[in-house]
Amino acid sequence: MKKWFGVAFGDAMTAAAREHIHVLRGLLRTFHLLEKPGEFLQDRRIRWTIYRYMLRGRRRNASRRLQKGPQREEMLERIAS
């Protein structure tokens, strides 16, 4: 149960960070060691946004984790231009 919650919370946090700038900024403050790990979760707005994404369901949030990138040919065209 603890492992499931951790993965579900991580998926929700990732999905929320892609769509809400205040969640992304909180994550980046921790990532760049500007504050203690997890301290951004003290902000109620960030915490409630992540909980709201958890209510959407893990399957829906996990699909946001995977993003298709460009095909090889398309990438080479982008680099060449």
Taking only the tens place, the pLDDT of each residue in 14-59 is 889 989 999 999 999 999 999 998 899 999 999 999 999 988 887 7
| Position 63 confidence tier, pLDDT thresholds 50, 70, 90 | low
Q: Closest by alpha carbon to 31, among 12, 13, 49, 51?
A: 13
Q: Residue ranges of the alpha helices (H) in the chain?
A: 2-19, 21-31, 44-56, 58-65, 72-80
pTM to 2 decimal places:
0.69
Domains of the chain, residue spans: 2-80
Q: Closest by alpha carbon to 53, among 9, 1, 22?
A: 9
Structure tokens at 43: 């902000």
Greater confidence, 11 or 24? Answer: 24
